[in-house]
Chain A
């Protein structure tokens, strides 16, 4: 006899083998008839829905992404345009170049 670990390993192997030898029982004709009766009953009282209706699918897959992308582009254009017209672009360049006077000017203009 081996160690307890070996014994458990062996037992586990036997369990797996036993499990894999399980055979599915044949479902009898009566079972099938009962199931079909219930399906027919369901078809009358509660037929299967179409899940996600096409309109919802179109809205989710096309309208929403398009609206999001359009909004993003519009926001970018708006910010860019505002930056150009107010001369912020030049100020930002000055700032980037370490122009502290320009930075001060920018800060005071913002305040």
Chain B
């Protein structure tokens, strides 16, 4: 499966990034704008792949704040883009953790209206001419809502985005076996959820 977001392969202006980071750490806060120019699209793209559209701005904002606060930890021994991607993915994961905590009922709780909706979308998908992209996205969002934040994030990276287990582990800061197990369980759960829409 081809990854829709490539990381760490594009060397980018790495040395330049490090110079900017040092400049910011030296007290020139305005230099942060340069990082923003370079990477705001990347962060928006990552956020959009993990969180609903209406939360992208909020998540991207939080990611850049974290990035600024963590600049002192950037070693410069790997591309800034990769380092930032890791913060971004982690930020999206934390968004879901907070989001699930804020909900009075779990995001993936079984809801008759939703089940009917899922059934309707499925029947339209079954007929080749009835595919509505937005509805499929709704269905995906709804189905992912049945997963825990960790499962959701891992599944998005490995299955939907096509990252390898090693890449996903690197982005999440987890071990490869943990990603493999979580990904396997999440995929199984997703299938179960989708299977129920067929009933």
Contact = CB atoms under 8 A, between A and B. Distances in A.
B136 interface: yes
Interface in B1-44: 4, 24-25, 27, 29, 32-33, 36, 40-41, 44
Given A39-B32, A43-B29, A24 B41 contact: yes
A83 to B, nearest CB: 44
Contact of B191 (A8, A18, A49): A8
Contact of B72 (A14, A39, A50): A50
Interface string A1-24: 100100110111011111111111
A39 B160 contact: no
Nearest to B160: A19
Contacts, number: 107
A25 B143 CA distance: 23
Chain B interface mostly? helix
B140 A48 contact: no
B173 to A, nearest CB: 16
A111 interface: no
Nearest to B199: A4
Contacts of A93: none
A36 B32 contact: yes
A8 B199 CA distance: 12
Interface in B132-149: 133, 136-137, 139-140, 143
B131 interface: yes
Interface of A: 1, 4, 7-8, 10-12, 14-28, 31-32, 34-36, 38-40, 42-43, 46-52
20 contacts: A8-B191, A15-B143, A18-B133, A18-B137, A19-B161, A20-B160, A24-B47, A24-B48, A25-B53, A27-B40, A35-B65, A39-B65, A42-B65, A43-B29, A47-B27, A50-B72, A51-B70, A51-B72, A51-B73, A51-B74
